Amino acid sequence: MPKLEAPNGEPRAGPLRPPPLTIPAVGETIAGKYIIESECGRGGLAVVLSAWHAELGRRVAIKVLLPEWSGEKHIVDRFLREGSAATSIQSQHCVKIFDVGTLESGAAFLVLEHLEGQNLDDVLTGGPLAVPTAIDWLLQATEAIAEGHAHGIVHRDLKPANLFLTQLPDGTASIKVIDFGLSKVIHASAWRDAEELTQPNDVMGSPSYMAPEQLRASCNVDARTDQWALGAVLFELITAQSPFGGGNIPETCAAVLLQAPATIASLQEGVPVAVERAVMRCLEKDPDARYRNVAELAAALAPYGSASARKSCECIERVLGVAATPAADPDAADAYGGRGRLSSPASRKVVLRSFLMLGGLALVVFAGLCASVHSHAHDWAHGNIQSLLRLVSAPGHPPDSSR
């Protein structure tokens, strides 16, 4: 094949190719001012680097999308949306994002405040927390979540690993909500076309903290989905165990969809009955059976925390513009007080429909396997499974049944 030549007879240069996408190395300067110092952590989508801001003389954290995801537009869009979501929340309990951009290679990055401390997942390796401490810390996180809800933002990935324990200058413990990468905008007026980033059959999040409606389809969620996750987190902070067992993801998903959560009383002594009731109400499988908003949850929990919890409760009420109902008498009869069972009739119906859906899906798969002797068996099974999933995830359809 003849070589391409320029008019002067010199070999013609081939098309320019962008530099390969790589993670910035220690000592490298990006955006002309951030000097990379070390790697802080790594997740499924991004790596977090410690860096020094040469102009301001301060340390920052830089979150860079991993190279393997940089070619996926919907992943890049969701990553960059994290910056928009977090910067709209001014709470001191939300991680601050200072800058957003792309490297010369085209990889997207976010510049965040540098936090000293550890996430609550690491804290829990030391065992369960005292109830007042667990409530104080959870309600601090809820301040940030409440402000997100006021802006029409659902976090969708609340878990101990995304709650960071740091200290204020006076030594007071402070919780920061981090990683808004899976957040969803539920007010269309907030960001145009935001809904297109989540498809009807997308399932995103960490199964141990995902509500049944989120397991079925991550686009069909609202603020009550975060409330479920807050309940699951508080359960774990108090007991150091998950409310839903399961040795693997399928078992955990099945437990969330079909089983009542474990009881706090069976795992940890001395927990006030009203605190367990509040947690169990968050973990109702029917969203309508949960609290109407996180201010009501805060009002139920605040009496069992310290003065910090009561201040958080007041802040949450102001942010949401509601006056929450005072916490009920812990000795009073409570429709949500059934321990170790599905207390809400609506939640029992959700479980029944979930069971029927999973059973129907199993039958479809079994029938497809039995039909495998036919030439079009694979296409037949795939088509029926997808049809069933579309039926389950269809907007307005009653809920029948998905780190």
Domain ranges across the chain: 29-113, 118-346, 350-393
Give the pLDDT confidence of 4-48 residue by residue, as tens digits: 455 555 555 554 444 456 789 999 999 999 999 999 888 878 899
* Three-state DSSP string of 323-363: CCCCCCCCCCCCCCCCCCCCCCHHHHHHHHHHHHHHHHHHH
Residue 391 predicted with pLDDT over 50: no
> How far is 280 from 263, CA to CA, in rounded Å?
8
Q: What is the pTM of this model?
A: 0.74
The amino acid occupying position 195 is E
Per-residue pLDDT, averaged over 185-212, amounts to: 55
CATH fold for the domain made of 118-346: Transferase(Phosphotransferase); domain 1 (1.10.510)
| CATH for 29-113, options being 2.60.120.10, 3.40.50.1780, 3.60.15.10, 3.30.200.20 | 3.30.200.20
> How far is 357 from 349, CA to CA, in rounded Å?
12
**Tokens representing 114?**
């540098």
> How far is 66 from 37, CA to CA, in rounded Å?
18
Nearest CA to 215 among 199, 202, 229? 202
Give the pLDDT confidence of 74-86 residue by residue, as tens digits: 888 878 777 777 7
Give me the residue label for tokens 């010199």: 10
The answer to whether 386 and 248 have CB atoms below 8 angstroms apart is no
The amino acid occupying position 274 is A
Give the pLDDT confidence of 255-283 residue by residue, as tens digits: 999 999 999 999 999 999 999 999 999 99
> How far is 150 from 265, CA to CA, in rounded Å?
34
Catalytic residues: 157
pLDDT averaged over every residue in the chain: 78
> How far is 151 from 84, CA to CA, in rounded Å?
11
The answer to whether 158 and 233 have CB atoms below 8 angstroms apart is yes
